[in-house]
Chains A and B, each alone.
Chain A
Amino acid sequence: MSIWEYANPKRFMQTSGHVLPWVSGLAVLSLATGLVWGFFFTPEDYKQGSTVKIIYLHVPAAMLAINIWAMMLVTSLVWLIRRHHVSALAAKAAAPIGLTMTLIALFTGAIWGQPMWGTWWAWDPRLTAFLILFLFYLGYLALWEAIDNPDTAADLTAVLCLVGSVFAVLSRYAVNFWNQGLHQGATLSLDKEENIADVFYIPLLISIAGFVLGFVALLLLRTRTEIRARRLKALQARERMA
């Protein structure tokens, strides 16, 4: 039993078919719990009032936006090295989700920033880096769309993803250099006694789990769709040949 078994599209379809309903159910459950708890049953912050509640959307979306790119990097590497089609299709399936997460993080941040910082947008390093990440997602998707041959497209987008990752990290630190920034530093870490007060922390953890599960469910769904589309194309091609 190893993960490489799922490089076989048939095995992948079988297992993901079994797993998908459970993941989706769990995602809906934890998202609903985390968000409802966070929005309606947590106290208001003494300084920020009810605007603090946007963290239940903003933080998980921002975490995912970065980690989805990291996941695409890994699957791109797997595709380039071991030529497993499922891997390339998973990268393709993940990109629009990452794009959406980046947008959610930017929008919720703007909505929170307006009353708190007094501005919708500031050229702060974190904000700017996210905007650049958004552009990277756009370019990646545009390249997928532009190329007809699916294998060429997979190869070129994988190369772009590798190079893009290096430049994304470079940009992240380059913008740091240029402006000290308004955004607070990282709050959540694994080795601290208490990150934020438990009343906010537990619903936040639940909604992060909900976002992650939701991403996994969407990813499986989209990858399955891509595989089916690929099969359909193959069948159509075979029909034309006959």
Chain B
Amino acid sequence: MIALLIRDLRLAMRAGGGFGLGLAFFLIVTVLVPFGVGPEGTLLARVAPGVLWLGALLACLLSLDRIFALDHEDGSLDLLATAPVPLEGVVAVKACAHWLTTGLPLTLAAPALGLLLNLPGPGYGWLTLSLAAGTPALSVIGAFGAALTVGLKRGGLLLSLLVLPLYVPTLIFGAEVARRGAEGLATATPFLLLAGISAGTLALLPFAAAAAIRINLR
């Protein structure tokens, strides 16, 4: 499983792996926001937590179909499915690799982009914390969506249609933590709920995703 993780990380880092793509997308979305809503500082400060969360979510969505599609094309997914490692574990490892190459860089980049959007002082810590707690859920839910659409030729658009409604609770709690943090309010409740969603999806969704892959490989 560790070998698989290292392999996935290496594939993502190499040219054409799309490692920087999510980050660049996140940057562009954030830069485009002031053009859309106007450069007024107070307004930007108010929408900053939500916009940064939304940008991170969309950037995450962008690279989801890579989780299984390439392995499915060259047949290594079949090998992984028949390997002695449980398929549920494979899914969890692949989601983890996706998080390490997408969610983690996004989390680290978010404070810098918060600066561009005039995020209020106490918001930086909570934004980073909420992204760190929430993006694993995005990766796991995305892995489930990718598993559902792995057999399809042009599954990318369908994948986003399936995954976006599943992202709603994560986005609500994540953006709520960041918003309350930025306004200096108590954040414990939404933060715990957000972490609960991450832990719950991490524990349960690999089973659903593995089931979907088995159906697709049948």
Chain A residues within 8 Å of B, Cβ to Cβ: 132, 135-136, 138-139, 142-143, 146-147, 152, 155-156, 159-160, 162-164, 167, 170-171, 174-175, 177-178
Q: Is the CB of A146 within 8 A of B166?
A: no
B interface size (C-beta, 8 A): 27
Q: Is the CB of A167 within 8 A of B168?
A: yes
7 CB contacts below 8 A, A to B, read A142-B161, A143-B158, A156-B215, A159-B215, A170-B197, A174-B173, A174-B193
Q: With the chains together, A136 CA to B169 CA distance in Å?
A: 14
Interface residues of B in 38-80 (CB under 8 A from A): none
Tell me the nearest residue of chain B to A171, going by C-beta.
Answer: B168
Q: Which residues of B contact A171 (CB under 8 A)?
A: 165, 168-169, 172
The answer to whether A167 and B205 touch (CB under 8 A), given A142-B161, A147-B152, A152-B151, is no
The answer to whether A138 and B168 touch (CB under 8 A), given A156-B212, A160-B148, A177-B190, is no
Q: Is the CB of B165 within 8 A of A132?
A: yes
Q: Which residues of B contact A142 (CB under 8 A)?
A: 158, 161-162
Q: Is the CB of B212 within 8 A of A138?
A: no
With A159-B208, A177-B190 known, 15 other A-B pairs at CB within 8 A are: A135-B164, A136-B165, A139-B161, A142-B158, A142-B162, A143-B158, A146-B155, A146-B158, A159-B215, A160-B162, A170-B168, A170-B169, A171-B169, A174-B169, A178-B176
Q: Is the CB of A163 within 8 A of B165?
A: no
> A39: shortest Cβ distance to chain B, in Å?
35
Q: Is the CB of B148 within 8 A of A156?
A: yes
Q: With the chains together, A175 CA to B212 CA distance in Å?
A: 29
Q: With the chains together, A178 CA to B193 CA distance in Å?
A: 13
The A-B contact count (CB < 8 A) is 72
Q: With the chains together, A171 CA to B164 CA distance in Å?
A: 12
Q: Is the CB of B216 within 8 A of A152?
A: yes
Q: With the chains together, A146 CA to B156 CA distance in Å?
A: 12
Interface residues of B in 97-126 (CB under 8 A from A): none
Q: Is the CB of B161 within 8 A of A159?
A: no
The listed residue (A139, A147, A156, A174) touching B172 by CB distance below 8 A is A174
The listed residue (B144, B168, B216) touching A132 by CB distance below 8 A is B168
Task: Give the dominant DSSP class at B's interface.
Answer: helix
> A6: shortest Cβ distance to chain B, in Å?
25
Q: With the chains together, A147 CA to B154 CA distance in Å?
A: 11
Q: With the chains together, A146 CA to B162 CA distance in Å?
A: 12
List the 7 shortest-distance A-B pairs measured between CB atoms, nearest first: A174-B169, A135-B165, A155-B215, A170-B169, A171-B168, A174-B172, A139-B162
B218 contacts the other chain (CB 8 A): yes
Q: With the chains together, A139 CA to B216 CA distance in Å?
A: 18
Tell me the nearest residue of chain B to A170, going by C-beta.
Answer: B169
The listed residue (A138, A156, A162, A178) touching B161 by CB distance below 8 A is A138
Q: With the chains together, A160 CA to B148 CA distance in Å?
A: 8
Q: Is the CB of B161 within 8 A of A167?
A: no
Instruction: Kindly supply a per-residue 1/0 record for chain B positions 132-155, scoring 1 wherever the CB is within 8 Å of any chain A CB and 0 otherwise.
Output: 000000000000100011011001
Q: With the chains together, A156 CA to B212 CA distance in Å?
A: 6
Q: Is the CB of A167 within 8 A of B152?
A: no
